[in-house]
Each structure stands twice: as C-alpha cells, then as structure tokens.
Structure 1
Amino acid sequence: MQIELTAADGHTLSAYVAGPQDATRGLVVAQEIFGVNRHMRRVCDDFAKAGYAVVCPALFDRTQRGVELGYGPEDVARGRDLRATIDPGKTVLDILAAAAALPKAARRGIVGYCWGGTVAWHGATRTSAFAASVGWYGGGIAAAKDEQPRCPVQLHFGETDASIPLSDVEAIRAAQPGVEVFVYQGAGHGFGCEERGSYVQKDAALAQERTLGFFGKHLL
C-alpha cells in the first residue's frame, strides 16, 4: 500500500507500507539507488511476514516522483545521478517522517541497502529516532565512520565489492569497535538483491538471518 508522508520542512513524499499496524516492532526501510522498486517492495514484504510494520519512503521524491529503476548500466547511471541531487540532510528528514508513520507503540529500527545502507547509518548517528540500525553495503559509511551511533548498529559488506574496498571496511571496524561488522567472502555489491547478477542466495539468507536476529534482540 502507498501512503503520503510530510517531512519537517513541508516536503511531501510517497512511501510503501506493509505489515501489521498493531505491530510492536517497526522498521524504516531505506532504498537502494534504484527507487522503491519491485525488489524493495519484496524486502518490505519479507519483513512484514516476520511481523514488522514497515515504511519505505521514496527518497528520490525530492527530485523526481515515482522512480523505479532496473539494474542495467543505464539504470545504475541514472540512479547515481539522482542520488547526487539529494541533500543528505533532507534524506534524514524523510526517514524521520517515515519513522513517525510507524505504529506509535512500536519500537523502531532502520535498515537500508546500497545508498540506503548509508542512510541507515545516518539514521543511527544523526537522529535519536531508532533503537537499532542495520546497513547492507552502504558505500558512504566509511566517509562518516567517525560519527557516533546513538543506537546499536550492524553492518554487512561483500568481500569483493568494487565500490567498497576492504580497506574501507577495516577503517569502519577500527573507528567503531562497538559495531557488528560482517564480511561475506566472495560476495560483491548488491549480493542481497535477487534481481542482480551479484546476488548470492546463501549470503543473502545469512545476512537476513543476522538482521532479523539483531532487530529481535534490540527492538524489545
């Protein structure tokens, strides 16, 4: 189901919602650079099946509404161009609007993928809205590694990710010894997306198991 959100600066954006609205645990799901597309809706539906109320804000609505891209080279280029137009501070306002749309009684977490992995890190370090944060292959986390999380954080990276070298991952580990960091041997960027050539089912399943376990522990 689609709803409309209003951020603190008056910007209106759409969001995909799923899951029981009387849930005691809620998640903001932060998109990849491909918009709130079929894959992101599947991710949301999977969390909903696990009992979470889910809100996935359309972060590209700041620039263009209704963006749903595929995973070809032209889609990647378009997604990167769109992301470059978005002020990270405005994205924080959008995830806060999404958090406010979760059930009031729910403990709130945030999880993000690709660009959204960095957004989830910002949700942990730049807001106090979340009780736990999980980021999958967030390429911008290393640049913000010295920001201090205000909630427990878990991060997932692929060993062979061409856009996130292992030196970045190790720098994050060194800067944030309290953060859980997992590296998946042989996996590349986007290993959790079933529509990408880099998809690795076993690694995606393990990362999801760890994600659900982390939220199960911290969203009590």
Structure 2
Amino acid sequence: MIELTATDGHQFSAYRADPADTPKGAVVVLQEIFGIDSHIQKITDAFAAKGYVAIAPSLFDRVKPGVNLAYDESGISDGLAMTQQIDRQQLLGDIQVAVDAVKSAGKVAIVGYCWGGELAYASANRVSGIACVVGYYGNDIVNNYSEKRKVPTLLHFGENDSTIPMEQVTQFRAYRPDVSAFTYPGAAHGFSCDRREGYQEDAAEKALDRTLSWISQYVEGQPPILLKNAGIYAQQKAEKKKKKKSGGDDLGPPMD
C-alpha cells in the first residue's frame, strides 16, 4: 500500500501494482462497497500483469481506514452506509489524485465495479487526464443520462441484476448512444466478482475481454479489435465519422 494526499490535506491509502516491464499506460481501479479487499487487489494485480501501472485508491478512508467488509447482508449494509457519508466532490478529488499519481506511466483508464462503476462513470466528465472509463454494474448510472460523455465509455450490466432493471438499461442506451453498453444474459449484480453469489464465469470473461480491448485501444492507441456486435461506438473516431446508413438507427452495441 502507498499513501496519497488529497488537495484538502486528507491522506488516504492506495493499493498499487507495477508491471514487470515498461508500462503501456495506467489503470485506476475503483472499489466496490466492500473496500480494498483481496478481490480488488487481485484485479489490480491482473491489470499490472497485462502491462499497466495499476492503482486502487481506498475511497472509504475518509470514513474509516482499512475497511474490508464481508460479502453478506451486514457487509452490504455497512458499505452502503459509508458511501452516504462521503461528499461526491471529495471522492472525485481523491480519484483525481490517484490518476495524477500514475499518469507518468502514460495514458490513464478508470475501471470501476459496483459503487466504483458509478464513480467511474461520473469521473468521465469530472476527472481530468483520463483516456477512457469502464463501469461494471453501477446502480445509479442508468439514471444519469443527460450529459454527453467526454471520454470513451464502456459499461457492463447483468440482465438478471435485480438492482438495475433492464428497462432502465434500455432507456439509458436510447438516450446515450455515445456509450457502449453491453448486457449479459443470466448475469446478476456482481457477476464479475468470484467472491459473490452472483458470479458468472462466462459473463465475467466476456466483460474482461471487452474491457481489455477498450483499454488497449484508448490507452495504448492501438487499432481497435472489432468484437462481435461491437457497434460503431466501439470503433475509432475515424469510423464514427462515416456516414450512417439512411433509415437506420444506431443505439450503440446491441445488448447480447
């Protein structure tokens, strides 16, 4: 763990992992409501293994340092309570500090899970110096569709997520065609976390493949890897400039 200092003097910890070779860029990992636990550390290590400087800021430190909650009803309740005790602007400020701490490695992506997914989506328009964002099953994202995204944004939702109705995801995609939003059949909330009951390996692997391709495209600057049903919004800006077919619509990648 390392220590970071926010602009208001708040000191908070962060889990950092560095690649073995010259970094390709950096990834800021935003936590779920359970803290910087072994799951978030594992994700951070995995991004480092892919060649990125990876850092996971401990966003609960403003309430209580060293939070590590259980994946049960009590842990969920305690985690949700802590999210309500931190000012959103302070959170975004702490995320900005984490971005600044790794930007020397190159372009920076933000990837968030659950509560962190919401924060990743907010960061796209509020945090400077980021190349792209990825959000996994952030509950409040589907209610915030008024602002056009300032950086390329990729989202993952489970079709069986009881906390995010598919009707809201469909509505969100209609309002925000500039966002690539994928859904996963049979997947529940937290489907990418192997410590949660809703874990679904197939969906987790597909989402990870898309996430890594997204980061590779916008952080490393490589040509995009075209995925099945990727849609125009998963391609380079040059592709976006192509004339749309008459009579058709393009709401981003179809939900599959």
TM-score tier (shorter): over 0.9
Which consecutive residues of structure 2, in runs of 5 or more, have no partner in the other structure? 221-256
Give the aligned partner of residue 10 of structure 2: 11
Give how far 1:150 is off: 1.2
Q: Does 1:216 align with 2:219?
A: no
Q: Which residue of 2 aligns with 1:170?
A: 170
Partner of 1:97: 97
Distance 1:49 1:218 in 2: 18
* Shift of residue 128, structure 1, vs aligned partner: 2.6
Deviations 1:14-47 (A, max 9, x none): 0000023841310110000000011100111111
Give 1:99-178 correspondences, 5 Å limit. 99-178=99-178
In the alignment, is the contact (CA less than 8 A) between 1:128 and 1:150 conserved in 2? Answer: no
CA distance in 2, matches of 1:147, 1:69: 33
- Moved runs in structure 1, 4+ residues, more than 6 A? none
| Residues 152-189 of structure 1, C-alpha deviations (whole Å, 9 max, x = no match) | 00000000111111122112212210111100001000
Identity across matched positions, percent: 42
Gaps of 5+ in 1: none
Q: TM-score with structure 1 length normalisation?
A: 0.96
Q: Is the 8 A contact 2:159 2:188 kept in 1?
A: yes
- Taking the aligned partners of 1:206 and 1:15, their CA distance within structure 2 comes to 28
Counterpart secondary structure, 2:93: helix
Cα deviation per residue 1:66-123 (whole Å; 9 max; x = unaligned)? 0011201111111111111111111100110100110414110100000000010011
Query: Distance between the aligned counterparts of 2:105 and 2:36, measured in 1?
Result: 26
Tell me if the contact between 2:16 and 2:53 (Cα under 8 Å) persists in the aligned partners.
Answer: yes
Q: Is the contact between residue 127 and residue 150 of structure 1 (CA under 8 Å) also seen in structure 2?
A: no
Q: What SS does structure 2 have at the residue aligned with 1:101? A: helix
Q: Aligned partners of 1:192 and 1:39: how far apart in 2?
A: 10
Contact 2:30 2:120 in 1 (8 A): yes
Greater C-alpha Rg: 2
Residue deviations 1:105-156 (CA, integer Å, cap 9, x gap): 4110100000000010011021232100000001111222212321100000
Check the 8 A contact 2:36/2:68 in 1, yes or no. yes
